[in-house]
Amino acid sequence: MGVGLDLLDPEPFVALTAVGSICAGLSTVTFAVDPKNLATEGHVRYGYGGYAVGALLGAIALALVIARTERELTAAGSRPSPPCPIGCHCGTIIHSSFVSVTTGAAGLLTWGIGFALVMNVRRKAQLPA
């Protein structure tokens, strides 16, 4: 049997969130190094692209959280009650609400798409002299 990656395990959530945060953070490094980079079209596109990638990876991570929560709820319904020998329901505790996670995922998705679209707009920023 081969070892595969289960996208509904917690590790992919953490990895996607970390990579997305790094992409969003790196997108502003060129502006921190030299603020005049805001006047160049390539650097501005790079900045918007980094934010877009970061937000879209965050949205994917939250969508995986929703899928995992749904899987846990389905599995909890098929187990005999109570699942623990001492009588607790520790296996069925869900720590996130669908509304909050779905709202966060939709917001990040919209934000990422917006940055991706703005990245393609041709204009130069004007810096004060």
DSSP letter, residue 8: T
| Whether the predicted pLDDT of 5 surpasses 80 | no
Measured N-to-C along each axis, helices 41-78 and 10-26 cross at an angle, to the nearest 10 degrees, of 170
* pTM of the predicted protein model: 0.69
pLDDT band at 1 (very low <50, low <70, confident <90, very high): very low
- 97 vs 108, more confident: 108
Tokens for 88?
Answer: 């607790």
> How much is the pLDDT for 80?
59
HSE-CB at 23 with a 13 A cutoff on CA atoms is: 20
> How much is the pLDDT for 11?
74
